[in-house]
Amino acid sequence: MAVSGRLPACGVLVGSEKGEVPGLSSYAARIGRHFGLPSRVRRIAMLSVHTSPLHQPGTGDAGGMNVYIVELARQLAAVGTEVEIFTRATTGALPPTVELAPGVLVRHVDAGPYEGLAKEELPAQLCAFTHGVMQAWAGHRPGHYDLVHSHYWLSGHVGWLAAQRWGVPLVHAMHTMAKVKNAALAAGDRPEPAARVIGETQIVDAADRLIANTAEEAAQLVHHYDADPALTAVVHPGVNLDRFRPADGTAAARARLGLPQDALIPLFAGRIQPLKAPDVLLHAVRILLDERPALRERLVVPVVGGPSGSGLAKPEELHKLAARLGICDVVRFRPPVGQEELADWYRAASVLVMPSYSESFGLVAIEAQAAGTPVIAAEVGGLPVAVRQGESGFLISGHDPADYARALRRFDDHPELAARMGVAAALHARGFGWDAAARRTLDVYADVIAERGGHLRSVHV
């Protein structure tokens, strides 16, 4: 293949400021990947309007997406791509910028009142947020950002305008979709509004590339939003394998947390809201105790997390349910905890129970498995990818508490099952490191910049 243009002696030419050769940047990007050389994406603007990467996951609107953004940004920076994350300021005490990690900067944007603003009220603040993003950009030279990567539909609308104004590509990750959530609502949960459906449809049309967590999510984008399959890339999220690992084992973790060594411990970890279905676990525990009253003496059910989403309307509802079911003595409610302590809760558990009605992937399931703990999960969304059926855990079709009680019974009948499946779970989770997720994401960035005729940088070797 003949390509005109001059290649520098110490690098791969992937675009020039003048005299751009049609198709050259795409060719160079492919050549770089062929020889194991990353295409140089210098700096990206990452947008997370409604939840800050600095917030504690497990309460409010902070959850798996926060973990995703933090870990992906850190890994991108580690391989040379700087990341600036724009998020809404939620208190006046926050500094304008915070260094999250070397090469990762969090920018706080004033948009609406700092506190008391629900996620559903944020669309009215998108103009103010966009203005703040543009102000930050105005202080830089042209070409400061190579690309915009937005997370969740609110960020997508800001990203759409920013990318157009800056003349760079927009990559968008939905994380959750209104149409998918509305098709699988928990009893009594409120549906996502029509405005969100319209907004998501517009972003799908506007984005240069969509990133889906799984092939199923990519298919949902095509089916529900008429996304172009050719512009939809699948990138599995990762897990921090240094933090979430078996470490010194179950006994040591239980000792640190003050849990009995001989207990059966089914754990729920995550945001407490109808979508996550922690009530299913509590009902399953009641069924199990009805069948096996003696189990009460050695059953501990930790619920680690805080109210979120529609669960904020009735923050004590799960406590009241435990009381109505007569299981307050075995259920232990704990507030959200930091990542290091969360890893101990995973290690201490016999099994993680995740009966969600919808999950785009289920990072909690991968974290638990990486820590050596099997998972009982609903067979929804990305959980069939996150959990290997019969090896690293059990997938349940539907949300009947009796089915979850039946799965829990297996761990009571076979005390060795948790340890045996935990070994397989840890091995399975090792295939989901953030380094692989970052490499795949960089490939998406490189491809979309090349397609837009952008200027990928020279990589020196």
Q: Which residues are annotated binding-site positions for Mg(2+)?
A: 346-347, 349, 373
Q: Are strands 82-88 and 104-109 parallel, antiparallel or unpaired?
A: parallel
Q: Which position has the token pair 């939003």?
A: 225
Token pair in block for residue 227: 């996304």
Q: Which residues pair with 98 in a beta bridge?
A: 106
Helix, strand counts (H, E) of the chain: 16, 16
Angle at 290 between CA 285 and CA 292, to 5 degrees: 90
Distance, CA of 147 to CA of 230 (rounded, Å): 19
Contact 231, 209 (CB under 8 A): yes
Residues making up the annotated binding site for UDP-N-acetyl-alpha-D-glucosamine are 56-57, 64, 271, 276, 337, 359, 367
Token pair in block for residue 346: 């995973």
Distance, CA of 319 to CA of 308 (rounded, Å): 15
Distance, CA of 427 to CA of 388 (rounded, Å): 11
For residue 249, what is the enclosing H or E element?
helix 249-257
Enumerate residues 6+ apart whose C-beta is below 8 A from 151: 46, 47, 48, 65, 68, 69, 172, 173, 175
Q: Which of 205, 240, 211, 229 is nearest to 367 (CA)?
A: 240
Residues making up the annotated binding site are 50, 56-57, 61-66, 119, 152, 176, 196, 271, 276, 337, 346-347, 349, 359, 367, 373
Token pair in block for residue 30: 């492919």
Q: Which of 217, 211, 130 is nearest to 169 (CA)?
A: 211
The number of CA neighbours under 13 Å toward the Cβ of 223 is 9
Residues making up the annotated binding site for 1D-myo-inositol 3-phosphate are 50, 61-66, 119, 152, 176, 196
Q: Are strands 97-101 and 104-109 parallel, antiparallel or unpaired?
A: antiparallel
Which of the 8 DSSP states describes residue 59?
B
